[in-house]
């Protein structure tokens, strides 16, 4: 909403600047057209009048007075338009602020804090998750140690079997056969 408020302020600022530029340009055009009008009048007076000096002074004074009056009127109009524009922007800003406050109030009323049950449920869930994580870690470490022990005993068994077979070859043939049968019986055991 703050971002929206800034956008609206930028929009009104841009509109104010555009209106001010248009009013300034209008003022310049009015002044330039008035000047051109008076220059044309002056030329007509010079061409048609015999007593140029007095008429020129009179017309110049009239032109200055008319120009001053027109300038004052344009300035007053421009000032009134700017004041009206600024007051319109202020009214719009006040409306936007009021809408923003109403929206903020409605959003704050819609938000409800956790109930006691929800807080207890979240705590219980966190406790269960932590318990499961620690149990899983303990099980993983135990399994890893178990597998390491089994690998150790399996290698030891294979080494013992190899040593037994080497020792068995040094025995007489009849003893070799008996030991071979016992070794096969040990190998054929199931877990």
Structural domain that includes position 18: 2-114
Q: What is the mean pLDDT of residues 26-35?
A: 72
Distances from the Cα of 103 to the Cα of 75, 89, 90, 112, angstroms: 41, 21, 20, 16
Same domain, 9 and 80: yes
- Residue 163 maps to a domain: yes
Same domain, 99 and 135: no
Q: Which pLDDT score, from 0 to 100, does residue 44 have?
A: 74
Tell me which of 88, 114, 140 is where a domain ends. Answer: 114
- Taking the model in full, what pTM does it have? 0.31
Same domain, 105 and 41: yes
Helices (H) and strands (E) in the chain, counts: 4, 0
Terminal-to-terminal C-alpha distance of the chain: 71
Residue 52 has pLDDT above 60, yes or no: no
Q: Which pLDDT score, from 0 to 100, does residue 3 have?
A: 61
Same domain, 142 and 110: no
Q: Which pLDDT score, from 0 to 100, does residue 1 have?
A: 54
Q: What is the pLDDT of residues 106-123, one digit of tens each?
A: 877 777 776 788 888 989
Q: What span, in angstroms and rounded, lies between the C-alpha atoms of 41 and 34? A: 11
Q: What is the pLDDT of residues 164-176, one digit of tens each?
A: 888 888 888 888 8
Same domain, 162 and 98: no
Same domain, 22 and 104: yes
Tokens encoding 87: 């007051």
Same domain, 81 and 48: yes
For the chain, the domain total comes to 2
């Amino acid at each position: 909403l703050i971002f929206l408020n800034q956008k609206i302020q930028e929009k009104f600022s841009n509109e104010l600047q555009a209106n001010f530029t248009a009013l300034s340009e209008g003022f310049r055009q009015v002044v330039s057209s008035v000047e051109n009008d008076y220059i044309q009048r002056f030329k007509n007076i010079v061409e048609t009048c015999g007593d140029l000096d007095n008429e020129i002074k009179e017309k110049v004074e009239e032109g200055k007075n008319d120009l001053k009056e027109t300038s004052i009127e344009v300035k007053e109009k421009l000032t009134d338009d700017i004041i009206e524009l600024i007051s319109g922007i202020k009214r719009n800003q006040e409306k936007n602020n009021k809408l923003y406050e109403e929206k903020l109030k409605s959003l704050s009323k819609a938000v409800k804090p956790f109930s006691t049950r929800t807080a207890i449920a979240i705590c219980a869930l966190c406790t269960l998750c932590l318990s499961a994580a620690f149990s899983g870690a303990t099980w993983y470490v135990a399994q890893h140690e178990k597998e390491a022990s089994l690998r150790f005993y399996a290698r030891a068994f294979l080494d013992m079997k190899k040593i037994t077979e080497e020792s068995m070859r040094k025995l007489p043939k009849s003893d070799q056969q008996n030991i071979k049968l016992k070794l096969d019986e040990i190998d054929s055991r199931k877990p």
